[in-house]
Chains A and B, each alone.
Chain A
Amino acid sequence: NAGVTQTPKFQVLKTGQSMTLQCAQDMNHNSMYWYRQDPGMGLRLIYYSASEGTTDKGEVPNGYNVSRLNKREFSLRLESAAPSQTSVYFCASSELSFGDRELFFGEGSRLTVL
């Protein structure tokens, strides 16, 4: 099983460029999440989607937009990339967003903004 698949795995952008990180899960999960992880730090939630058709802001949503395209796919868009957005981005999914449901994470997308 593929689980949670993120593309691309690596990307280098120039300041001001835009790009979209793609995430897909094949576990029929309802909830999906985007996190970022800066060097030496824990993960911080950017946006999440509790169910298809809904999205909500997390801790650090500024500079990002998301789209829950369908139940399988949840994309993260940087409209005008800034060096502060250099980070590793992780997508995750869970059956539901209740307290007793585990999250499954992708392998990450490493983004560098010059």
Chain B
Amino acid sequence: DAKTTQPNSMESNEEEPVHLPCNHSTISGTDYIHWYRQLPSQGPEYVIHGLTSNVNNRMASLAIAEDRKSSTLILHRATLRDAAVYYCILKEGFQKLVFGTGTRLLVSP
């Protein structure tokens, strides 16, 4: 299984941008990069995914390195409700998501 590496935790202030990094040096050409987040006592929630190009949606942006060995999830203006564990996951083609331990994002007022 292709692996991802994320920092255990990060801190941010409310209304500031947040850049959550993820390394995936063993990524294969067909692996999609997915990001999910999990709020306390809830199930994971889809955030965004991409293959090669940068992606934007209403929740976040995903910046993918040219060699695809790393990516960054960007929350443009963090809110208190963004405090969660963020998982960077490689979706292995026709297979399932394999979660790591993620990054716990703390947002201060």
Contact surface of A with B, Cβ cutoff 8 Å:
4, 33, 35, 40-45, 48, 50, 58-59, 90, 92, 97-100, 102-108
Contact = CB atoms under 8 A, between A and B. Distances in A.
Describe B's contact surface by its main secondary structure: loop
A90 to B, nearest CB: 5
Contacts, number: 59
A31 to B, nearest CB: 8
B96 A33 contact: yes
A25 to B, nearest CB: 12
Nearest to B30: A99
Contacts of A44: 99
Interface of B: 30-32, 34, 36, 41-46, 49, 51, 87, 91-102
A101 B51 CA distance: 12
A97 B41 CA distance: 26
Contact of A100 (B43, B45, B91, B97): B91
A10 B16 CA distance: 38
Contacts of A100: 32, 49, 51, 91
